[in-house]
Structure 1
Amino acid sequence: MPRYVRYREHGIVHTGVVRHDRVQDLPGDPDILTLLQAPEAERADVLLRSGRQQRKPVEQTQLLTPVEPRAMRDFVAFEAHIAGMKKSEPGDGSVPEPWYEAPAFLFMNPWSVVGTGAEIPMPPFTERLDFELEVAAIVKNTVRDVPIEEAAGHIAGYCILNDWSARDIQGREMRIGLGPSKGKDFANTLGPWITTPDELEPYRDGDRFDLEMTVEVNGEVIGGDNLRNMSWSFEEMLVHASRDAWVGAGDALASGTASTGALSERWSRSGALTPPPLRVGDVVRMTVAGLGSIENRVVEQTSPGHTVPRARRTYGPDRL
């Protein structure tokens, strides 16, 4: 199968396939998930009727997110990343034992998803803007209580994900005992297209994929890992996510940050803000073998940065 993409041309959203670094339109602009859910013969017919006309080169096309998820779960599946982050808390690099018990995840804001090439406004009140190098599996069918032997059949394909993070805001929030909220709700890049599982078969290594991952800032490689180093497979993550819960068609299951795939891990390991936090004008590019690349530029803040007052105290010894 080809790689499926959504793109905008003259203000109209189209569905296409990427072949030889060019985007080719699909007749009728079918929904990507609907197409991937269809029988193989029907998909083949759509591709055959797409004709031979080649569209613009990929680099000249305004790519959109290949799907618009209703829910996004961000796992923490790279042990080395957790160990690196724990160099600063609790300080010895030990991974908490509960982490090994099950693939933990947090929910992300699906309304914040943007495509490659989109500008990322600097969030207000942060001095430590960061990125996270990840891969996301896109769920093909709405499912519940998926057994491991059926999980692979419910994965439509894979995308690159950048989970943008305001680390100073996130750090303050998590001291309360809950996950990050405003530290992570402002932007997530998903794309550049959906690569179907059969396209990745040459990279298969057991139930993982041998995919090299790198992240660059302004053309300089900052970190990298290999997707096969995940401690759980995407199929296992789907089994866990769907246990006694619905996971919807088009939902994203993200791997979590690859080792050295975030500035914060480097800061934790070294005890210094080196490399420095992202600034306006910085360009972040992520590349994963077999999946392509996504790239975004950080631009000036656009939010007015409205604030709310501190909590009104309503509890005290005199109220017992």
Structure 2
Amino acid sequence: MKFASFVHDGKRQSGVVADDRLHPFEHPVDLLDLIVEGEEALRGVGERALTASLPVPLADARLLPPLQPPTVRDYMTFESHVAGVARGYGDTVPEEWYAAPAFYFTNPYAMIGAHDDVPIPPGCGRFDFELEVAAVIGKAGRDLTPEQARDHILGYTILNDWSARDLQGREMRVKLGPAKGKDTATTLGPWLVTADELEPHRDFDGFLDLALTVAVNAETIGHDRLANMAWTFEEMAAYASRGTWIRPGDVLGSGTCGNGGCLAELWGRGGALEPPPLVPGDTVTMTVEGIGTISNTVVEGAAPVPLASARRRG
């Protein structure tokens, strides 16, 4: 099944997607609340919506992020992406990358919908996209094995990890990881596709083999396959649960795919800002086989509020 959150006639709703129509849930309820209640409850409400509610044409609704996740872990599982970005700094893939699926926590309050405008972060001059797929956790777990973790993944959605590369580059020299470089917007959508719908795409090594493409202003910039990940989502979920809990609604991003999944990789490989950074008016469209398409237009953002430099204490 495909579950969506949306606004229609000024009313925020959740429901099921079928045949280019949205079937609202019979009673108003947030999708995350149903995910927390359990997959059986979620599917039951979805089945009733397909037969009992008056459908809304997709074209008449504004899609919201499918859910407002409590946490978002964003990984870095495509070796070609890591290699391309590292090349821009005269570097190679560090040996530590191969040891475990590294991730950082990004801002769960920055989620935007599949077709929302995205503002340029304050002070950013090198704005970039990142094409990813995200898994959504449906059941709590701790210290899971990858085999156990499969039962904890409810479904998948597309994730665009918008990135202010110049801000990110400066702040990461402090060695605390990205902060304001990744803080303004993350697209999640267009909907949540339950894991069973993508099982036919699973290969012999356990990876979901889906075609990924990204275009800027209708010109294809990058394409890859999800099966080129270095770790499966089950392994990522198991690592996330090591020594702690993963809980319903948690989002695990695959990290940026290779072969042009972001501009920074192309800049690193080519040694120049080509294609150029995103500017207001650019539209970034991402399509993932078996899930759908998201398309966001870049708009002007706010000017940065000035802050004083650090007080040096000698």
* TM class by smaller structure: over 0.9
One-letter code of the match for 1:307?
P
Q: Work out whether residues 67 and 250 of structure 1, in 8 Å CA contact, stay in contact via their aligned partners in 2.
A: yes
Matches within 5 A, 1:62-141: 62-91=62-91, 94-141=92-139
One-letter code of the match for 2:96?
P
Counterpart in the other structure of 1:9: 8
Task: Tell me, in whole angstroms, the C-alpha distance in 2 between the residues paired with 1:158 and 1:42.
Answer: 15
Q: Work out whether residues 25 and 46 of structure 2, in 8 Å CA contact, stay in contact via their aligned partners in 1.
A: yes
Counterpart in the other structure of 2:262: 262
Q: Work out whether residues 134 and 253 of structure 2, in 8 Å CA contact, stay in contact via their aligned partners in 1.
A: yes
Task: Tell me, in whole angstroms, the C-alpha distance in 2 between the residues paired with 1:257 and 1:277.
Answer: 17
Q: Work out whether residues 26 and 47 of structure 1, in 8 Å CA contact, stay in contact via their aligned partners in 2.
A: no
Q: Work out whether residues 26 and 53 of structure 2, in 8 Å CA contact, stay in contact via their aligned partners in 1.
A: no
**Structure-2 change in CA distance of 1:41 and 1:305 (3 Å):** closer
One-letter code of the match for 1:253?
L
One-letter code of the match for 1:300?
E
Counterpart in the other structure of 2:215: 216
Counterpart in the other structure of 1:182: 180
CA deviations 1:51-73 (Å, max 9, x no partner) are 26663332332111111111100
**SS, match of residue 51 in structure 2:** coil
Q: Work out whether residues 238 and 253 of structure 1, in 8 Å CA contact, stay in contact via their aligned partners in 2.
A: yes
Counterpart in the other structure of 2:251: 252
Counterpart in the other structure of 1:275: 275
Q: Work out whether residues 137 and 253 of structure 1, in 8 Å CA contact, stay in contact via their aligned partners in 2.
A: yes
Task: Tell me, in whole angstroms, the C-alpha distance in 2 between the residues paired with 1:49 and 1:304.
Answer: 44
**Structure-2 change in CA distance of 1:39 and 1:162 (3 Å):** closer
- Compute the TM-score of the two structures, normalised by the length of structure 2: 0.94
Q: Work out whether residues 2 and 194 of structure 2, in 8 Å CA contact, stay in contact via their aligned partners in 1.
A: yes
Task: Tell me, in whole angstroms, the C-alpha distance in 2 between the residues paired with 1:153 and 1:144.
Answer: 13
**Structure-2 change in CA distance of 1:45 and 1:274 (3 Å):** closer
Query: How far off its partner does 1:31 sit?
Result: 3.7
Query: How far off its partner does 1:42 sit?
Result: 7.5
Q: Which one of the candidate residues 171, 177, 188 is aligned to 1:173?
A: 171
Counterpart in the other structure of 2:286: 286
**SS, match of residue 235 in structure 1:** helix
Counterpart in the other structure of 2:150: 152
Gaps of 5+ in 1: 316-320
CA deviations 1:291-312 (Å, max 9, x no partner) are 10111111122x2410211111
**Structure-2 change in CA distance of 1:15 and 1:86 (3 Å):** same
**Structure-2 change in CA distance of 1:227 and 1:49 (3 Å):** closer
Matches within 5 A, 1:38-77: 38=38, 40=40, 43-44=43-44, 46-48=46-48, 50-51=50-51, 55-77=55-77
Counterpart in the other structure of 2:203: 205
Task: Tell me, in whole angstroms, the C-alpha distance in 1 between the residues paired with 2:170 and 2:42.
Answer: 51
Task: Tell me, in whole angstroms, the C-alpha distance in 1 between the residues paired with 2:183 and 2:46.
Answer: 37
Task: Tell me, in whole angstroms, the C-alpha distance in 2 between the residues paired with 1:82 and 1:210.
Answer: 20
Task: Tell me, in whole angstroms, the C-alpha distance in 2 between the residues paired with 1:82 and 1:102.
Answer: 14
Task: Tell me, in whole angstroms, the C-alpha distance in 1 between the residues paired with 2:240 and 2:41.
Answer: 31
CA deviations 1:134-192 (Å, max 9, x no partner) are 00000112322122221011111000000000101111111122211111101000011
Counterpart in the other structure of 2:232: 233
One-letter code of the match for 2:78?
F
**Structure-2 change in CA distance of 1:294 and 1:176 (3 Å):** same
Task: Tell me, in whole angstroms, the C-alpha distance in 2 between the residues paired with 1:42 and 1:144.
Answer: 22
Counterpart in the other structure of 1:318: none
One-letter code of the match for 2:292?
G
Q: Work out whether residues 112 and 186 of structure 1, in 8 Å CA contact, stay in contact via their aligned partners in 2.
A: yes
Gaps of 5+ in 2: none
- Compute the TM-score of the two structures, normalised by the length of structure 1: 0.92
Question: Which has the higher mean CA deviation after the structures are superposed, 228-237 or 169-178?
Answer: 169-178
Task: Tell me, in whole angstroms, the C-alpha distance in 2 between the residues paired with 1:174 and 1:38.
Answer: 39
Task: Tell me, in whole angstroms, the C-alpha distance in 2 between the residues paired with 1:45 and 1:66.
Answer: 16
**Structure-2 change in CA distance of 1:39 and 1:102 (3 Å):** closer
Q: How many residues align?
A: 311
Q: Work out whether residues 215 and 285 of structure 1, in 8 Å CA contact, stay in contact via their aligned partners in 2.
A: yes
**SS, match of residue 176 in structure 2:** coil
Counterpart in the other structure of 1:309: 308
